[in-house]
């Protein structure tokens, strides 16, 4: 292909971009935090106003900052929880159903998720507020907002034994009931590198959930017919 034909070059780049999106299992139209419940600003849908959080006038600032953020998650604008968690495979009563290696405590990007979802840190308590904001953080946590009803499932708390395991090295060679790493990634799920476990195949919250997704429950792929579950598990 000759680069002397700009239209051909642009078309080729467009097709290449679509192929990359397809390989990643991500559709651009399903991305966009503005229209999701992870938008805590005044631009959010009116149904979210009962959250009664500080309106910083920006969408991204509740999670990200361009300078001085945490590095475990990209430019993370929140402190990580100091809670001690009971993990899925904990010796005091957790499950031993998986022949995998677990971290003793949550690690990696899961710490970013738990900085809201353990229910102990205010959603609008950020490291760096916008320079032009006059809003004052309320410090309201998920536990303050969702006290009854189905939404309380969003509050994971510190006992994670009744939740899908996180901070776990996914090693299909250790358990024949799992699909290959290549097929899992190819289907659109994401595995992570984690210094605490010295592996590039770690299951974290964001393996199945994309916080920027418009999909139901922020799932990376549709779970109709248990499709997401069966991406990893052979049942």
pLDDT digits (tens, 9 = 90+) for 126-176: 999 999 889 999 999 999 999 999 989 999 999 999 999 999 999 999 888
Stronger pLDDT, 41 or 21, i.e. the higher one:
41
Estimate to the nearest angstrom the gap between the alpha carbon of 66 and the chain centroid.
19
Query: Which H or E element spans position 200?
Result: strand 199-203
Query: Residue 45: pLDDT band by 50, 70, 90 thresholds?
Result: low
- pLDDT at residue 129, rounded to an integer: 95
Please state, in angstroms and rounded to a whole number, the distance separating the CA atoms of residues 72 and 192: 11
Other CB atoms within a 10 A radius of the CB of residue 26 amount to 18
Please state, in angstroms and rounded to a whole number, the distance separating the CA atoms of residues 105 and 89: 11
Token pair listed for 213: 């997704």
- pLDDT at residue 4, rounded to an integer: 54
- Rounded to the nearest integer, the mean pLDDT of the chain is 85
Other CB atoms within a 10 A radius of the CB of residue 147 amount to 10
* Mean pLDDT across 86-91: 78
- pLDDT at residue 48, rounded to an integer: 57
SS3 call for 188? coil
Handedness of CA 171, 169, 117, 86 (dihedral sign): positive
- pLDDT at residue 196, rounded to an integer: 83
Query: Residue 32: pLDDT band by 50, 70, 90 thresholds?
Result: confident
DSSP assigned state of 81: P
């Amino acid at each position: 292909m000759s680069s002397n034909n700009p239209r051909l070059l642009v078309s080729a780049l467009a097709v290449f971009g679509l192929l990359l999106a397809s390989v990643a299992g991500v559709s651009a139209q399903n991305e966009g935090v503005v229209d999701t419940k992870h938008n805590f600003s005044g631009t959010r849908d009116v149904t979210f106003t009962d959250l009664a959080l500080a309106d910083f006038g920006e969408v991204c600032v509740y999670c990200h900052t361009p300078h001085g953020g945490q590095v475990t998650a990209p430019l993370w604008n929140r402190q990580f929880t100091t809670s001690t968690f009971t993990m899925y495979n904990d010796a005091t009563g957790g499950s031993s159903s998986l022949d995998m290696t677990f971290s003793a405590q949550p690690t990696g990007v899961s710490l970013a998720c738990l900085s809201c979802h353990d229910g102990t840190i205010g959603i609008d308590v950020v490291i760096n507020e916008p320079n032009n904001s006059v809003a004052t953080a309320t410090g309201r946590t998920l536990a303050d907002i969702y006290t009854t009803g189905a939404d309380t499932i969003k509050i994971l708390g510190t006992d994670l034994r009744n939740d899908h395991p996180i901070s776990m090295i996914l090693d299909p060679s250790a358990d024949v009931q799992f699909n290959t790493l290549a097929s899992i990634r190819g289907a659109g799920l994401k595995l992570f590198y984690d210094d605490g476990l010295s592996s590039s195949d770690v299951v974290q919250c964001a393996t199945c959930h994309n916080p920027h997704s418009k999909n139901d429950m922020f799932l990376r792929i549709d779970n109709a017919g248990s499709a997401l579950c069966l991406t990893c598990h052979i049942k």
